[in-house]
Structure 1
Amino acid sequence: MQKFMLNITASSGEFYQGDCESLTLPTGDGVYGVQAGHSPVLVALHMGILQFTVNGETRDVLVGDGIAEVTPTFVLLLVDSAERPEDIDRNRAEAARIRAEERLQHKQSMHEYYQSKIALDRAMQRLQTAAKYKR
């Protein structure tokens, strides 16, 4: 199978750079598949599970919102966050969920409300991912 170069960069730094055989991206419209030779496109990413295949092995990564630049030979992903499901700390994610729910119960500005909602969504996604991968 043909390969392309994949670069996943989170706000904390480079997460992965190397060859890739196939890639599925979480978008607002569902998953978006990419293989070598794909037409150039920019894709908005939503928090969810990204899957990429290297040497026949599929790897899963929980990514935050971001953007993907796809070319026939290279894919660049710029995301808020990226972590392996096995690295998710369930206790920390549960504490974040509780804090976000408590903040949502208090009177807030619209900006604070949306920040709390995003934090809750992120914590819930992390908990669901950790449960799915049995950590």
Structure 2
Amino acid sequence: MKVVKVHVVTPDGPVLEEDVEMVIAKAQSGELGILPGHIPMVAPLQIGVVRLKKGTDTELVAVSGGFLEVRPEKVTILAQAAEVASDIDVLRAKAAKERAEQRLRAQKSDVDFRRAEMSLQRAINRLNVTNKHF
């Protein structure tokens, strides 16, 4: 079966480099499925899960926005933050979720609600990727 090389990179450095049969990512325009030989494109990503399929296995990567660049033999994901499911600290993600929820419940004028909403989305995404819902 044909494969495409996937690179997931953040400002802190590379997160993952792997050959996969299919990449599924959540772009701002909708969900994208990328197979080997896909036409070149660039798409902004939402906070979400990138699924990397290889045979019957699917690896999950939590991404916090960024861009997806597709070339026929290579997919590069430039993310603000990205974590492979096995690397996610569940207790830390749960604590981040609770902090964001507390900020959103606060009725203080100094709370940046948009930032708190984004923090909550990132924390929920990380917990969803680990399949440990709280």
Residue 65 of structure 1: how far off its partner (Å): 0.4
- Cα distance per residue 1:39-97 (max 9 Å; x no partner): 11111111111111346532111111010111111111101122122332232122212
Are residues 68 and 57 of structure 1, via their aligned partners in 2, closer, same or farther at CA, if it must alter by over 3 Å?
same
Q: Is the 8 A contact 1:41 1:70 kept in 2?
A: yes
Are residues 129 and 54 of structure 1, via their aligned partners in 2, closer, same or farther at CA, if it must alter by over 3 Å?
closer
Give the gaps of 5 or more residues in structure 1.
none
AA matched with 1:108: D
Give me the whole-angstrom Cα distance separating, in 2, the residues matched to 1:64 and 1:91: 18
Residue 11 of structure 1: how far off its partner (Å): 2.6
Give me the whole-angstrom Cα distance separating, in 1, the residues matched to 2:132 and 2:121: 18
Which deviates the most, 49-58 or 27-36?
49-58
Percent identity of paired positions between Structure 1 and Structure 2: 30
Runs of 4+ in 1 over 4 A off after TM superposition: none
Output the TM-score relative to the length of structure 2: 0.83
> May I ask how many residue pairs the two structures share in their alignment?
132
Give me the whole-angstrom Cα distance separating, in 2, the residues matched to 1:128 and 1:4: 26
**Superposition CA RMSD, Å:** 2.3
- For 2:110, the equivalent position in structure 1 comes to 108
Q: Is 1:122 equivalent to 2:119 in the alignment?
A: no
Q: Is the 8 A contact 1:26 1:50 kept in 2?
A: yes
AA matched with 1:82: A
AA matched with 1:79: A
Give me the whole-angstrom Cα distance separating, in 2, the residues matched to 1:9 and 1:51: 15
Higher strand share: 2
Give me the whole-angstrom Cα distance separating, in 1, the residues matched to 2:72 and 2:64: 24
Which deviates the most, 24-33 or 36-45?
24-33
Q: Name the SS for the 2:113 alignment partner.
A: helix
